[in-house]
Amino acid sequence: MIWYHIANWLSAGANCCLVTIRDARGSTPRDTGALMAVGADGTFTGTIGGGALEWEAMAIARDLIAGHPEGYGMTRTFALGPSLGQCCGGSVVLGFEVLSSDDLGWTNALVQAERAGPFATTGQPDSRGVRIRTLDHTSAMASPHLEYHGEPTRDVFLFGAGHVGRALVLALAPLPFRVRWIDSREEAFPRSMPQNVSIDPIDDPISVAGNPLHGGIGIVATHSHALDFEIIAQLIQNKSFYFIGLIGSDTKKSRFISRLIDSGIKPDLIERLTCPIGLSGIDDKTPSVIAASVAAQLLMLPRKVNDRV
């Protein structure tokens, strides 16, 4: 949430510096478009790849903030091998933009867009060298001033607000997923939520699983095996879901498969079920460990056409 932090700094009357990889050639820690924002106190958010490059960029950003209270923009090229001693061997062009309270208006608009997911902006530098960004809804690739912000996210429908569900929500919080958390027990949800989570205390979670307008990744970890089964039966028949995971054991999977066959569901649909969920080789059953394993598994999934970009 780069722009969220930038707006907070500016609202408090503190300048900050936005660092952008404008061009990346050869082997580099991150690609063109990566962002990092540095505060006047040295705190930062985002990353341009870490290591000596990031450390040097942060030092430059702090000096620019101190020397240009009105705002300022510049670019600088870094050869990672010769100038910074990094083994990558590539080169990057970094853009440095000191933002002041005068920039709060247009940055607030980007905060609102950031909350909804990835977005694009366009804009040209003003007299200070600061690019005044406005939302671009056309995503015209031909525009030399177009920038993309945020990572493409994948939709996760998480059924169950128990121990594993809570742990998984926390594990997915900093990752490129958008989570819809579903449970019929409204009191089961915690009071505070990560920004990428929306809760749905619906009385009939089975209807959510069967709705063809819903889709993405389905994870089932409710408080009831009977409810798990009914949700799974809907998910595997809903072609909008490309990954369907069920918490449980091999025994639970076998019993569910037998019941699904008895229900008349076709074998090719049943094969869509993944159970147990998580990476093989991690046997710890602690909720936080299960959640970390599942999060890693989801990150390894190939991206699908219904990813939002």
pLDDT digits (tens, 9 = 90+) for 149-191: 877 789 999 999 999 999 999 999 989 899 999 999 999 999 9
Domain 154-299: top CATH class: alpha beta
For residues 33-45, average pLDDT: 93
For residues 209-227, average pLDDT: 94
pLDDT digits (tens, 9 = 90+) for 186-205: 999 999 999 889 999 999 99
Domain ranges (residues) in the chain: 2-149, 154-299
Average per-residue pLDDT for the chain: 90
% of the chain beyond a pLDDT of 70:
93
**Angle at the Cα of 254 from the Cα atoms of 252 and 260, rounded to 5 degrees:** 100
With helix as H, strand as E and coil as C, how does the chain read? Answer: CHHHHHHHHHHCCCCEEEEEEEEEECCCCCCCCCEEEEECCCCEEECCCCHHHHHHHHHHHHHHHHHCCCCEEEEEEEEHHHHHCCCCCCEEEEEEEEECHHHHHHHHHHHHHHHHCCEEEECCECCCCCECCEECCCCCCCCCCCEEECCCEEEEEEECCCHHHHHHHHHHCCCCEEEEEECCCHHHCCCCCCCCEEEECCCCHHHHHHCCCCCEEEEECCCCHHHHHHHHHHHCCCCCEEEEEECCCHHHHHHHHHHHHHCCCCHHHHCCEECCCCCCCCCCCCHHHHHHHHHHHHHCCCCCCCCEC
Please tell me the predicted confidence (pLDDT) of residue 81.
Answer: 66
Please tell me the predicted confidence (pLDDT) of residue 82.
Answer: 54
Please tell me the predicted confidence (pLDDT) of residue 230.
Answer: 97
pLDDT digits (tens, 9 = 90+) for 55-65: 999 999 999 99
Please tell me the predicted confidence (pLDDT) of residue 144.
Answer: 59
% of the chain beyond a pLDDT of 90:
73
For residues 92-99, average pLDDT: 96
Lowest mean pLDDT segment, chosen from 15-19, 87-91, 159-163, 265-269? 87-91
Nearest residue to 216 (alpha-carbon basis) of 302, 117, 116: 302
Q: Is the pLDDT of residue 288 over 90?
A: yes
Lowest mean pLDDT segment, chosen from 41-45, 50-54, 256-260? 50-54
Best-predicted range by mean pLDDT (24-33, 88-97, 237-246): 237-246
Spatial CB neighbours of 291, under 8 Å, sequence gap ≥ 6: 164, 167, 168, 170, 171
pLDDT digits (tens, 9 = 90+) for 105-138: 999 999 988 887 788 999 999 999 999 999 987 7
